[in-house]
A and B are shown apart, each in its own frame.
Chain A
């Protein structure tokens, strides 16, 4: 009787949230999966089922393959640049926890992570600007010819990686700081007694101990790298000024297929590819963590 009353309260209390959840999360996710198997031109009423035809077409679609390559390069580039840097910076900040500037370090490293994307990207647009930008001026100062950073297909990818890393770093440092704080102090003291230097302690004690954190940070950074959109939109306009066209990324390609070419089913199949990438990354993470737990 009492149990039943509590059950009734629990269901009534969670029902509104659950309803919203089903409506704005679960339904559209299922709908994405369903649409990816259909051909749906926004203008036509019927949506014939076409099986995997969308996916087969995707892998011959030069624009999509181009977007997939760019996005992967950006995502991995950001991880390679961010994760080691974050580990070292967090290690140093942790070492100087008692310094009176440690709050300043943490805050300024974290600020790029919280400022809105577009204004922050504007700052970098200026830095990379071919005519006005300080980067080219600096290069010329050292006798290196100026580059058209944002108009060259290779250089503009690098610019996006730099911008994304600048933003991702603060989050990674923060997570590492939590990790460093949770490391057992006794281990470091033992290493110190054995005569290990600071660098040795970092390399032989901290790095292996922080492996789960490294794994977590890498996967989170990779996943957000695969969802890159705003950065490419702002930085990489092509010569006609069409935003984001210079460096095609997955989300942009998806939105174009859906809202410019009116091929919603096809765009949904791209979304499914993106989802599969994210799922595989997450599964790898869980797998590696579990393996570690068993040892």
Chain B
């Protein structure tokens, strides 16, 4: 009975192992293809490690496209969006959790209600707002769509309610602390974990955004990496070597970043599922 159970566990491990490998195999091949010559791309079965690795694909991508600029745009956009979302969520989430006024409840319901509406629904009017501000084709235009995050406010609010006792705040007030001082010196440090998770979530949300950058940026120099790559591929539909090179240049750093920040990320995503 014991040995049979062990055998089954072993079989499950083998299955999960193969499944996990299959999940990441497309990405592994993408990186490998980036180093292949056009002849080798045709080889069957596809080789995991190119027999004749070449940097030609990378060189030609770099001469044909402003890839470093696109990466810079994406990094700057994602970082600014992350900062804006963490700041607005921290203060709003705290106020909504600890100040029981009826007017604030109404605000909270409004924020929750907009959370249901997908971004794609209202991005066209938002585009005209960006146009009116004259920020199309710029970092600020990109940022306009990603300044706040309903879920972020919700996440901070839940965290404050669960992890910061009212007594702590009352004690500080009795000692004569000002409201702002309390937020800055007591609340923020206690929220470090939640805000870390939110920061990672916000960064990746902007980093992987597609539809909004697609309509806001129309000049080659203002593209984010996603838009740049998507439009680059339409020009060279068949040249998979160069497409792979450009994609790999983006994937490898972002996957590395993810693996490093995995704990934060998983915590953030998992808490989205627990709100019910």
Contact = CB atoms under 8 A, between A and B. Distances in A.
B91 interface: yes
B237 interface: yes
B61 to A, nearest CB: 12
A96 B107 contact: no
Interface in A66-119: 89, 92-93, 95-96, 99, 101, 104-112, 114-119
Given A25-B122, A254-B124, A178 B229 contact: no
B248 interface: yes
A153 interface: no
Given A96-B13, A107-B259, A278-B117, A119 B229 contact: yes
B86 to A, nearest CB: 12
A165 to B, nearest CB: 11
Given A10-B104, A31-B122, A234-B233, A111 B258 contact: yes
A9 interface: yes
A259 B272 CA distance: 34
Interface string A142-176: 00000000000000000000000010011100110
Interface residues of B, number: 97
Interface residues of A, number: 98
Nearest 5 pairs between A and B by C-beta? A119-B247, A31-B125, A175-B273, A28-B122, A108-B20
Interface of A: 5-7, 9-11, 13-14, 16-18, 20-21, 23-29, 31-32, 35, 89, 92-93, 95-96, 99, 101, 104-112, 114-120, 122-127, 129, 131-132, 134, 137, 166, 169-171, 174-175, 177-179, 198, 212-213, 216-217, 223, 226-227, 229-230, 233-234, 237, 241-243, 251, 254-255, 258-259, 264, 267-268, 271-272, 274-275, 278-279, 282, 289
Interface of B: 8-9, 12-13, 15-17, 19-21, 23-24, 26-27, 29-30, 33, 41-42, 44-46, 88-89, 91-92, 94-96, 99, 101, 103-104, 107, 110-111, 114, 116-126, 128-129, 144-145, 147-148, 150, 153, 179-180, 183, 204, 207-208, 210-211, 214-215, 225-226, 229-231, 233-235, 237-238, 240, 243-244, 246-248, 250-251, 254-255, 258-259, 262, 265-266, 269-270, 272-274, 276
